[in-house]
Structures are given as structure tokens and as C-alpha cells.
Amino acid sequence: MEKKKKIRKIIDSSIETTKRFYFPILASILASIISIMLIEADFTEKMELQLAYLLHVSILSIPVFIAATIIGEQKKLSTIVKFGINFGTLILIVLYYLFLPEDFTNKVLYRGVLLTIAIHLIVSYLPFLRKGEYYNFWEYNRNVFERVIVTALYSIVIYGGISIAMVASDQLFNLDIPEEIYFEYWVLVVGIFATIFFLAGFPKNFSNEKAETIYPIGLKIFTQFVLLPLVTIYFLILYGYIAKILITWEIPQGLTSYLVIIFSIIGIFALLLIYPVQYSTKNKWIRVYSKIFYWAIFPLIALLLISIFKRINQYGVTENRYFILALGVWLAGISIYLLINKLENIKIIPISLSVIALLSAFGPWGAFNVSKMSQLKVLKQSLEELNILVDGKINKDREILDWNEEHKINDKIKDGIRYIVDNHGYENIQKVIDIELDTSITNNPASSYAISNAICDSIGISSYNNNAYTRADNSFHYSVKYNNEENKAQNVKNYDFLKSLNIYNYDDILEQKIILDNISLTFEISNELIIKYNNKNQK
């Protein structure tokens, strides 16, 4: 009898959850079906792209529909009006899908991640947009956070348990279970079970009355005695690095920015976890620690900005550098705001982050347009620096610079071209360089690498061509690359022979010698390749 009651309770809870969140659950089921289709079947490239877009939109729509449901419940709207809000949300999602570009580029992926982050953050504060309600906001997000942890644990146990049983059965009874089954089972657990289980425990109370804060002792112990000490240690390490910079006067490396961002966000998250207890008489030290933490962030932000501006000055803005710079500015702003407002309005943290994520995803000020314009500017300057580009035209009669400088700028140009083609399309390069490309290459949706090589070839800097030139010291330089097409001969007309070399620069200087018909050729490599003819530099 007791078992029947428990089973009935589970069924009733599932039905209630489905009625409450029918659109998010349908989206999760659709995402799971599409994922299994992509695992199981081979589709044409065009069909696979459309399925990938559908998967992307389905996953993105889950938090969007949750937000729409929250609005309806908070405003206590009728069932028809709630359905209308969800249906209107569905129309917006369909429009987003229809306006996705033809190619699945990094831009689509980045924008999807930004939108997902923004929407999840909006869900975290949407019921508490009114002034105040800081404790209600904290209690609501604590419940959501705990539900995420519990859902993850249940999903891991269920997937791990059944997977182990499948492996054991496969080994004992020679069932020959395909590997794809394990991936599909993981999709079902994460896509359907985890979604329904999480939503079954999603908070329902959005009252503006002050919530009774019940602080879990386990969370308090973990935050105070594990997370905060680790944050302190990491900050001391970063301050030690600042001391090293001041002593040696060396510019910080690019990795520094990521470390500052990661540890600062972990620190803020730790302080959010213990937000309610900082006002307790026994925990005044937490409030003091919070103030010290936000003051201590400023030198680290300065370190971050110096590091990222160094990279931008050298290579221009990319999406990643844009995001780091935006997060650095956000860290500075949020620290100042919380210090001025006595660390109370913690809602400003997710609100400001969601705004930054949305602003970064769209518009002329967004990450994609800013990085595109910056990289095109850097590319144009590099081409003009080598006299490859003169008045917008390719200059094929240019003088070669010093070899080391030429090689360095060539690599910068190649990297810039490949970055722009991969992220923004080759058409943008054609706005800077007056070149025409073979339509057989540009019409191939999977040919970004080939397009990059074709652009490099068209301006005469590709290492895939035979290149020979003389340095100021009269040493002769020559490079050749075999054709990659299988069974196709390499044209060596006007040359005596073709010899493959494998020189590995384990030492400062390496040599390889070839003797043919009393002719001695020595290939010497340090930072560059020098060919010597009968022990003399080629002149």
C-alpha cells in the first residue's frame, strides 16, 4: 500500500510538472530526438546543418520557456494568457531559427552561448525585479542551485548504474552493444529525465514577503572552510605575480587575464553563497572579508587590463579578448557599486552580467562586429607594412624586407586571414583586398581552409608556393612544399633535383648535408633555413 502511494505521488508530480512546464519539456524532448538522430544516421551536409541548428535552438528555448512560465505565474495570469505568452515566445524562437546564417560558424556558437548565459541569468532574477527583496532573491536562487546539484547527482547515479549493467551484460553474454547506445542513453538521461526532475522541484513561491532564510550547515562549512580559503590562496598567488612584475618589470602574459577572471568570479560566487550570514553577530568577519575582497580586486583588474591591452595592441581585438575586456570592466564596476551600496544589492550581479551578455551578442558594439573591424584593420596595416597592399591594390613588385621581419609579419597576415575567414567570411577580406577567388572554392561550404590558402596565394605570401629570396647578408633562402594531392607529381622544371628534408630543431643550429654529382649542399637551420652550395652561401 505504501509503495502504491509513493508511485502515485511520483506520477502525480510528473503530471503536475508537465502541465506547469509543458513547453520546456517539449523542447527538451525535441533536443533529445535530434541528438539521437545525429548519432544514429548519416545525413547530407545540408541536412546535418539544419539538424544542428534545430538542436541549438531547442536547447536555447528551454530556459526561454521557463522564463515565460515564471512571468505567467508571478503575475497570476489565467491559463489562456499563459499559453499565449508561451506561444508568442515560440514564434520569436522560430524567427530566430529562420534568421540563422547558412553556415554554422564560430559566430553562431558564441552567440548561442551568450544568449544561453543571458537567459539563465534572467531566470535567476526575473521574479524579483522590484526594489529590495534581496533575501527572497537569495533564497530562490539557493533552492535552484540545490536542485541543480541534486539533479546532477541523480543523473550521474542513474546513467552510471545502468551503463555499468550494460557493460557487464555485454561482456558476460556477448551482446555486442554498439557504442552509440551509451551516447543515446546519456542524451535521454540528461535531455529528458534531468530536465523533468529539475523542473519538478523548481520554486513556486514568488511572494514579496520576506522569506525565512534557512541556511544549510553543509553549505556554510563548505563555503567558509573550503571555498573562501582557496580563493584567498589563489589571490595571494596572483599578488605574488604582481610583485614579480614590479621587480622584473616584465609585461604580464595572456594567461594572466583568464586567471584573474576565473578567481574573481569564484570569489564573488563564494561571497554570494554566504550572503545571509554576513549580518549575523557571530559572522561579522565575513562582511569585513567581503570589503577586503572587493578592494583587493582592483590591482588584479589593473593586471588584467595591462595583459589584455598588450595582446590587443599586438594582434587586435578578437571575440575572446573582447569578452575578457568586458568582464574586466564589469568586475571593476560591480566592485565599486557593491562597496558604495554596502554589499547589499546582490541582484545587480546577475542583472548586469545578463545585460553585458546581450549587448555583446548583438549590434555594432557587440563582440563580433568589433572583432571583425579590428582584425580587418590589423590585416590592412600588415599588408601595407610589407608593401603588399598599395592604394587597395596588390603590389607584386615590392621589395623584400629583412627576412626575420618578413617572416614574422607573414605569419601575422596568414593568421589574420584565417581568423577572418573562419569567423566572419571571406567577403569581408575582399572589401580590403581587391582579389577574385575561384567560385569552385567559395561555393564549397566546408572550404574555409582552402579559401584562406587561396587568399594567401593571391597576395604572394603563402608557404605553399616556391619562395626564394636573398637577405641583406646575401644568404640564399628557398622553400618548397610538395603537392598534397595523392599520386600527383611535383613540377621541378628548371631545377636539377628535388629532395625531401626532415630537420628537427632540437638544438640551436642543425645541419643536413646532401652530396650529388660532386655537388655538396648543406642545409643549416637556426631561426631560418640557409642553403650553402659547396660550403658557400648561395649568392
Distance CA(501)–CA(503), nearest Å, equals 6
**Which stretch of 64-78, 187-201, 206-220, 333-347 has the lowest confidence by average pLDDT?**
206-220
Mean pLDDT value of segment 449-468: 64
**Which stretch of 67-76, 479-488, 529-538 has the lowest confidence by average pLDDT?**
479-488
More confident: 277 or 85:
85
**Which stretch of 107-111, 342-346, 414-418 has the lowest confidence by average pLDDT?**
342-346
Question: What is the pLDDT, as a whole number, of residue 272?
Answer: 87
Question: What is the pLDDT, as a whole number, of residue 90?
Answer: 92
Element (H, E) at 470: strand 467-470
- Which residues share a beta bridge with 335? none
The pLDDT of residue 429 is above 50: yes
- Displacement of CA 252 from its chain's centroid (Å): 22
Grid cell 534545430 is found at 54
Question: What is the pLDDT, as a whole number, of residue 197?
Answer: 92
Q: Tell me: the pLDDT tens digits for 99-110?
A: 888 777 778 888
Residue 405's pLDDT band (cuts 50, 70, 90) = low
Share of the chain above pLDDT 70, in %: 76
Share of the chain above pLDDT 90, in %: 28
Q: b/e for 103-120, b at 16 or more Cβ within 10 A?
A: ebbebeebbbebbbbbbb
The pLDDT of residue 301 is above 60: yes
C-alpha cell at 104: 554554422
- Displacement of CA 470 from its chain's centroid (Å): 43
CA separation (Å) from 100 to 39, 278, 425, 462, 483?
23, 47, 15, 33, 37
Edge to edge, the sheet with strand 510-516 lists 510-516, 519-525, 529-533, 536-537
Question: What is the pLDDT, as a whole number, of residue 130?
Answer: 80
Mean pLDDT value of segment 398-418: 69
Q: What is the mean pLDDT of the chain?
A: 79
Mean pLDDT value of segment 439-466: 66
pTM for the predicted model, two decimal places: 0.78
Mean pLDDT value of segment 267-283: 80
Residue 412's contacts (CB-CB under 8 Å, 6 or more residues apart) are 315, 378, 382
Mean pLDDT value of segment 467-479: 41
CA separation (Å) from 307 to 129, 256, 302?
36, 7, 9
